């Protein structure tokens, strides 16, 4: 009987140690991402900041003549959270080469006005010349060119997750 109690206590201690290690590693990863995000916010033109905190002025962003990617997501959205670290890194790495913004739809519900946002994450793509991005190949599913009532293309949207390499490839196409 005493042996069973000791064995159970040892197993519980091992499980607690493993859980503690997992918790520490995940906390460090989250802190690293937050530090990167915070360092990205300092000394950055508001229009190039990662997180949208005000009105989404797409016409002003177009005036920079850079590729634009707007990611609509939310904190509670697991796929959004999967993409966020890549968007944070790309926003920092591509300052002055592309505009990459994240819109939390719960905090900025008005920012979705005029956009066909039905699922999260949804990204909006606009070429550096202000025209909608048109994918050059069909290797990525989920793109749709959104048009106005007269049939004129307004923007291209993608629903779902994109990898960092896919986003980089798209940005290169958008610069042309």
What are the pLDDT digits (tens) for 74-133?
Answer: 999 999 999 999 999 999 999 999 999 999 999 998 888 889 899 999 999 999 999 999
The whole-chain average pLDDT of the chain stands at 85
Question: For residue 81, what are the CA distances in angstroms to 47, 61, 97, 120?
Answer: 22, 24, 24, 11
Q: How would residue 46 be classed by pLDDT, with cut points 50, 70 and 90?
A: confident
Mean pLDDT of 132-158: 88
- Tokens 């190949």, residue? 137
Q: Is cis: bond before 128, omega within 30 of 0?
A: no
- Taking the mean position of all CA atoms in its chain, how far away is CA 22? 25
Q: How would residue 41 be classed by pLDDT, with cut points 50, 70 and 90?
A: very low
The 10 Å Cβ neighbour count of residue 77 is 18
pTM: 0.74
- Tokens 């994109």, residue? 162
CB of 138 closer than 8 Å to CB of 107: no
């Amino acid at each position: 009987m005493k042996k069973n109690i000791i064995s159970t206590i040892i197993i519980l201690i091992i499980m607690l140690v493993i859980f503690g290690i997992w918790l520490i590693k995940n906390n460090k990863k989250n802190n690293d991402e937050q530090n990167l995000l915070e360092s990205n916010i300092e000394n950055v033109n508001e229009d190039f900041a990662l997180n949208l905190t005000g009105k989404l002025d797409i016409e002003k962003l177009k005036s920079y003549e850079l590729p634009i990617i707007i990611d609509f997501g939310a904190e509670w959205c697991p796929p959004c959270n999967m993409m966020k670290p890549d968007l944070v890194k790309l926003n920092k790495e591509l300052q002055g080469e592309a505009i990459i913004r994240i819109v939390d739809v719960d905090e900025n519900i008005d920012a979705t006005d005029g956009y066909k946002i039905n699922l999260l994450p949804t990204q909006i793509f606009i070429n550096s010349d202000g025209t909608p991005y048109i994918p050059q190949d069909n290797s990525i599913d989920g793109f749709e060119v959104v048009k106005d009532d007269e049939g004129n293309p307004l923007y291209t949207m993608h629903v779902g997750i994109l990898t960092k390499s896919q986003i980089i490839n798209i940005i290169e196409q958008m610069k042309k």
